[in-house]
């Protein structure tokens, strides 16, 4: 399984449009070679370089298993969003206080639909996914703010 974006390459710079310095909308994402036995997909976007520890930017789960693209500024029909570290149920773009940070877009293929009760955090989702991950893929984007 693989996750890519037409907006940036793996280990490439995330365009400003998708950050707090721009429109703060999610970039388009493409999913490749999703296992045929997957029942749902989940996506977690986080920044392990944040000063206070890993910062969660986006939590999306119950993505239909036949989904192959998340369009810019949207979530797939039927998918649900969990709470991020901005305390919002949406994508929160890169906004590093200093230096270049890495943003991990982690895609999971799961053997079941999670069907969890709100509010769902990254930690809640990870716990619910234990023992249900069929495949995982990762895309890393970089961003540093202009000063």
Count of domains forming the chain:
1
Residue that the structure tokens 């036995």 belong to: 37
**pLDDT tens across 123-141, in order?**
999 999 999 999 999 999 9
Output the pLDDT for position 108. Answer: 98
For residue 25, the domain's CATH number is 3.90.280.10
**pLDDT tens across 7-56, in order?**
999 999 999 999 999 999 999 999 999 999 999 999 999 999 999 899 99
Percent of the chain past pLDDT 90, that is, above it, reads 93
Output the pLDDT for position 57. Answer: 98
pLDDT surpassing 80 at residue 147: no
d(CA 22, CA 100): 17
Percent of the chain past pLDDT 70, that is, above it, reads 99
β-pairing verdict for 133-143 and 12-13: parallel
Q: What is the mean pLDDT of residues 52-73?
A: 96
Mean pLDDT of the chain: 96
What is the span of the domain harbouring residue 19?
Answer: 2-143
């Amino acid at each position: 399984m693989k996750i890519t974006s037409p907006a940036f390459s793996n280990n490439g710079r995330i365009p400003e449009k998708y950050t707090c310095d721009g429109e703060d909308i999610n970039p388009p994402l493409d999913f490749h070679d999703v296992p045929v036995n997957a029942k749902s997909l989940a996506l977690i976007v986080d920044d392990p370089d944040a000063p206070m520890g890993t910062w969660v930017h986006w939590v999306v789960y119950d993505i239909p298993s036949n989904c192959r693209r998340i369009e810019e500024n949207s979530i797939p029909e039927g998918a649900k969003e969990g709470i991020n570290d901005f305390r919002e149920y949406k994508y929160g773009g890169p906004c590093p206080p200093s230096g270049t940070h890495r943003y991990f877009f982690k895609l999971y293929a799961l053997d079941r639909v999670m069907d969890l009760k709100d509010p769902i955090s990254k930690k809640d989702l990870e716990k619910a996914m234990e023992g249900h991950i069929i495949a995982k893929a990762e895309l890393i984007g970089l961003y540093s703010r202009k000063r």
